[in-house]
Amino acid sequence: MRPSLLSVSLALCLSSTAAVAAPDGEPRDFDQIVVTATRTERAISDVPNTVDVIDRARMDTLLVRDIADLFRYEPGITVGSSFGRFGLNDIRIRGLGGNRVRIQTDGIAVPDAFAIGSFSSANRNFVDLETLKRVEVVRGPTSSLYGSDALGGVVSFVTKDPSDYLRDGDTAHVGTKIGFEGANEGLFAGATAAFGGERWSGLAAVSHRQGKETESMGGIGGEGAARTQANPQSSNGRSVLGKLVFAPSDTQRFKLTVEGNEDDVETDVLSSYGFQSLTRATNTQVLGNDHQSRARITFGHELDGLSSALADGVDWQVYRQDSRTRQDSVEVRRVPSGAATIRDRREREFYFDQRSYGLQANARKTFETGSVEHALAYGIDIERTETKQKRDGRRIFLDTGVVTNAMSPDTFPVRDFPISDTTKASLYVQDEIAFAGGAFRLVPAVRVDHYRLEPEVDSIFREDNPATQVADLHETSVSPKLGFVWTFADAWSLYGGYARGFRAPPYNDVNIGFTNFQFGYTAIPNPDLKSETSDGLELGVRYSGDAAYASLSTYYTQYDDFIESTRYTGIDPVSRLMVYQSQNIADARIRGVEFKGGVYFDSFAPALAGWSLRGAAAWSRGEDRITGEALTSVDPLTATLGVAFDQAAWGAELAGRFVGRRDRLPTAPAGSIYFESPGHAVLDLYAHWNFAPGTRLNAGVFNLADRKVWQAGLVPLIAASSATLDRYTAPGRNVAVSLSVDF
C-alpha cells in the first residue's frame, strides 16, 4: 500500500465533517475526559497534545485480551513481539519503546523491562486488561509531568472503581464474563462484585485465563531451525482487583486498592532443537518455564471544595509494588569431545525482581488575574525502588552424574549488575492560562527531577567481578513544556507546543559487569553516562462538532545521548581482553503526521440512525542522525478505517487495517538484503447482541480473507533470502467471542 492509502483515508473521513448530530446522549470522541495529558480533568479537545482514549465499552466491542488487541486500530502505536518463547514485549509510541515509554497503572509506573542473552527477557506486560475502565495514551515527550522514562510518551491504565458499576441508586452489582479466542485457543472467565451505600463502597474482581501458542501462517513444523510454525506453548494466568472506598462527606474519599496479577507460560522450543553451529552441540530438548507476577497495595485520599489560598482540591496516595520475573530453561544436549560424545543437561534460572515504595501528592487551584483565568496544578512524586537480578544454573553430565555450576562463560550464580537502589524525587508545576474567555489557552509546565542510584555489592556480584568498581550516580534534570490550544472558530481549534523529555541512566548500564575469559571479553561500568533527552515540537488542528470529529497533527522530535548498551570500545592493554561499555553515542530524529476522525450519519436520513464511520492514519520517518541510517523501530504508513451500525439491542462493525511496505531499513551487510515486509490490507468483522437485560454477546472474525501478512512491528531485521520468514506472519482467519451477564 502506497501513500495514496493515506489520501483515501483522509478523504473518506474529512469529506463528511459537516455532517449531523450523533445519537442522543452519546459522548463525542474529543469530548471524552482525560487526566493523563495535563494531570487535570480535561476534554481531549482542550489538551495541547495528541491523546488517545480507549474506554471499557470499546475494549469489549473489540474483544481485547492483550496489549496487541488493545492497540490494533491505533496507528503510530505498536506492540512488539518475538518469535520463539517470550512473545509480546513492549509498547512503542511513534517509534520509541521499551523503558523509554512510561507505562503506569493508576499513576504508578509498572516495573522495568530487562533482557540479557537468549534465556532471559523480563517484559512489562503486567496488567490484566479486564480490570481496566479506560486506557489513555499521550504521544510524545511527557517528562514535564511524569519525569524519567516518559521520553517517548505515556500509556496510562486506569482500573475500575465501585462507582463504575453502581448507578441510578444501585447498592449492589454482580457480573460474570466468559470468552474464547481462536488465535491461541484461549479461554478466559471473570467475575465482579460491587456494593455501595451512603459512605462505604467496594469492589472485588477476579479473572482466570489460559491458552496455547498464538498461531502464525508458517507451514513448516517439526524440530530444528527450519521450523516456521509457532513453538508449542501452554499459558495460564489470574488476577484480582479489590477496592474499598470510604466517603465521610461529599467532598472527600479514602480509597484502599489491592491488585495482583500473575502469568505462567511453558514452552517447548522446538525451533532450537538439532545442531547448533555456535556451540557445536546438538540439542535434543529445549524447554522454557516462565513466571511473572505483580502485586501492589495503595492507600489514597481525595479532598475537593477546599477554601484555601493554596488549593481547591488535593489528592495523595502511598503505595508499595512488588514484581517478580522467573524464567527457567532446560537444554539436553550431545556435545562432541574428540572421538566421544558428552551428554549433558543444562538448567538455567533467571530472576528479575523489583520492589517500589512511593508517595504521590497533587494539588489544584483556580484563580483569576484580571480577565485571565488560571488553573494551577502542582505536586510531588517520590519513589524508591530496589532492583535485583540474578542468573543461576547447573550442568549435569548424564553419563557420570557429575554436577557443576560452571557453564561457560559463567560460573553460577552471577549478577549482571549489583543490587541497585534508585530514588526518584520530583516537583512539578503547571498553569493552564485561559485568555479571551477561554478561546486561547496557554499551558506552561516544568518538572524538576532528582535521580539517585546506590548500588549494593554483594558476594555474588563480587565473586564474578572481583576487580569491577561500581559507582553511585546523582542526576538532576529540568523538563519544561509549553503548550497551547486556540479555539479560532466554532468547533475548530489549533493546538501544539514544545516538550522536553529525559531518561536517567539505567542501573544496569551504569554498573554492568561480567567477564568471559574463554571468549576474551569483559563489560565494565560507566559512571559518566548522561541522561537521554528529547526535544519535541507538535502542531495540530482539531474539529469537534456534534456530527463529526477530526484531528490532523504533525510532529518533530529530536533525541540526544541515547545509551547503547555494552558497546565495544577497544582492547585492554593489561588483560588483553576486548572491552565493552555502555555509552552515550546515538542521536536520532523522528517526524511524522497523524490523523484521526469520525462521522455520525444520523441526520442524513432517519434510516441512517446508528451508522458511523471512523478512521485513523500515521506516517512517520526516523533516522540515526550520526549514521543517517533508518530506524527499524519506526513503522511504515499505517491506517485503519471502520464503518459501524449500532442500536440498543445489537450492532456490527467492519474494520480495515492497512499497512504500507516496510521499505526504510538500515543498510544490510555486504552481499545481503533485508526483508521488506509487504504492504497489506486486513478486514475484521465485529458484532454484538444484547439478547436479554444485562446480557451481552460479543463476537469477532479477524483477517476475514485469511491473508498471509507480516506486521511490520513484529519482523526483526532478517535476510530477504531467509527460509524462515513465515515465522513472523500474523494469524490467519480466526474468531473470538465473549458473553457477559450483569445482575
Q: What is the rounded distance in angstroms from the CA atom of residue 452 to the CA atom of residue 254?
A: 32
CB contact at 8 A, 92 and 70 = no
Residue 151: closest CA among 80, 98, 81:
98
Instruction: Tell me the DSSP string of 192-248.
Output: EEEEE-SSEEEEEEEEEEEEEPPP-S----SSSTT--SPPPEEEEEEEEEEEEEEEE
CB contact at 8 A, 23 and 609 = yes
Residue 112: closest CA among 90, 95, 92, 143:
90
User: Is 513 a residue whose pLDDT tops 90?
Assistant: no
Locate 720 and state its grid cell. 530477504
**Greatest CA separation found in the chain?**
93
Q: What is the rounded distance in angstroms from the CA atom of residue 324 to the CA atom of residue 102?
A: 19
Locate 241 and state its grid cell. 482487583
Share of the chain above pLDDT 70, in %: 96
Strand partners, 100: none
Residue 639: closest CA among 73, 212, 233, 32:
73
Share of the chain above pLDDT 90, in %: 76
Average pLDDT over residues 241-254: 96
Beta strands in 269-309 (DSSP E): 274-276, 281-303
Residue 50 pLDDT class (50, 70, 90 cuts): very high
Q: What is the pLDDT of residues 632-678, one digit of tens each?
A: 899 999 999 999 999 989 999 999 999 999 999 999 888 899 999 99
Place of cell 556480584: 461
Which three-class secondary structure state does DSSP give residue 309? coil
Lowest mean pLDDT, pick from 43-52, 177-186, 521-530: 521-530
Residue 28 pLDDT class (50, 70, 90 cuts): low
pLDDT of amino acid 611: 94
Alpha-carbon distances, residue 19 vs 11, 44, 176 (angstroms): 14, 21, 39
pLDDT of amino acid 70: 95
CB contact at 8 A, 470 and 418 = yes
Amino acid in position 615: G
Q: What is the rounded distance in angstroms from the CA atom of residue 694 to the CA atom of residue 619?
A: 41
What dihedral do alpha carbons 281, 282, 284, 288 form, nearest 10°?
A: 50
Average pLDDT over residues 218-237: 95
Average pLDDT over residues 563-567: 81
What dihedral do alpha carbons 160, 161, 166, 168 form, nearest 10°?
A: -100
CB-based burial, 456-472: b 16+ in 10 Å, e otherwise: ebeebbeebbeebebee
pLDDT of amino acid 27: 53
What number of other Cβ atoms are within 10 A of residue 371's Cβ? 9
Q: Which residues 6+ apart lie within 8 Å of 673 measured at CB?
A: 719, 720, 721
Mean pLDDT of the chain: 91
Residue bearing the bigger pLDDT, 203 or 280: 203
- 578-600 vs 521-524, strand pairing mode: parallel
Residue bearing the bigger pLDDT, 427 or 3: 427
pLDDT of amino acid 620: 96
Query: Domain segments of the chain: what residues?
Result: 4-742
- 419-435 vs 200-212, strand pairing mode: unpaired
Angle at 25 between CA 24 and CA 31, to 5 degrees: 120
Q: What is the rounded distance in angstroms from the CA atom of residue 116 to the CA atom of residue 470?
A: 19
Own/partner pairs for 174-177, CB < 8 Å, 24+ apart? 174/742, 174/743, 175/740, 175/741, 175/742, 175/743, 176/740, 176/741, 177/130, 177/738, 177/739, 177/740, 177/741
User: Is 160 a residue whose pLDDT tops 70?
Assistant: yes
- Helix (H) or strand (E) run with residue 111 in it: none
193 conformational bin, left if phi > 0, alpha if psi -120 to 50, beta if neither = beta
User: Is 2 a residue whose pLDDT tops 60?
Assistant: no
Residue 36: closest CA among 22, 52, 24, 25:
52
Q: What is the rounded distance in angstroms from the CA atom of residue 690 to the CA atom of residue 688?
A: 7
Residue bearing the bigger pLDDT, 173 or 605: 173
Place of cell 479477524: 702
Locate 456 and state its grid cell. 549494593
- Residue 143 has φ and ψ, to the nearest 5°, of -70, -20
Instruction: Tell me the DSSP string of 120-150.
Output: -EE------GGGEEEEEEEES--HHHH-TT-
Q: What is the pLDDT of residues 676-711, one digit of tens each?
A: 999 999 999 999 999 999 999 999 999 999 999 998
Q: What is the rounded distance in angstroms from the CA atom of residue 152 to the CA atom of residue 150?
A: 6
Residue 53: closest CA among 129, 133, 110:
133
Residue 387: closest CA among 311, 322, 482, 479:
322
CB contact at 8 A, 31 and 41 = no
Q: Give the number of C-alpha atoms closer than 13 A to the C-alpha of residue 670, restricted to the C-beta side.
A: 0
Average pLDDT over residues 486-490: 94
Locate 584 and state its grid cell. 552515550
CATH number of 4-742: 2.40.170.20
Instruction: Tell me the DSSP string of 15-82.
Output: TTTT--PPSTTPPPGGGSEESTTTSS-EEGGGSSS-EEEEEHHHHHHTT--SHHHHTTT-TTEEEEEE
User: H/E/C letters for each residue in 462-478?
Assistant: HHHCCCCCCCCEEEEEE
Q: What is the rounded distance in angstroms from the CA atom of residue 363 to the CA atom of residue 358?
A: 17
Residue bearing the bigger pLDDT, 528 or 380: 380
Cα end-to-end distance, the chain, whole Å: 47
Residue bearing the bigger pLDDT, 584 or 496: 496
Q: Give the number of C-alpha atoms closer than 13 A to the C-alpha of residue 267, restricted to the C-beta side.
A: 25
Instruction: Tell me the DSSP string of 324-354.
Output: EEEEEEEEEEEEEETTEEEEEEEEEEEEEEE
Residue 469: closest CA among 421, 509, 526, 536:
526
User: Is 535 a residue whose pLDDT tops 80?
Assistant: yes
Q: What is the rounded distance in angstroms from the CA atom of residue 714 to the CA atom of residue 184?
A: 17
Q: What is the rounded distance in angstroms from the CA atom of residue 181 to the CA atom of residue 62?
A: 12
Q: What is the rounded distance in angstroms from the CA atom of residue 526 to the CA atom of residue 508?
A: 10
Q: Give the number of C-alpha atoms closer than 13 A to the C-alpha of residue 217, restricted to the C-beta side.
A: 14
Q: What is the pLDDT of residues 283-316, one digit of tens each?
A: 999 999 999 999 999 999 999 999 899 999 999 9
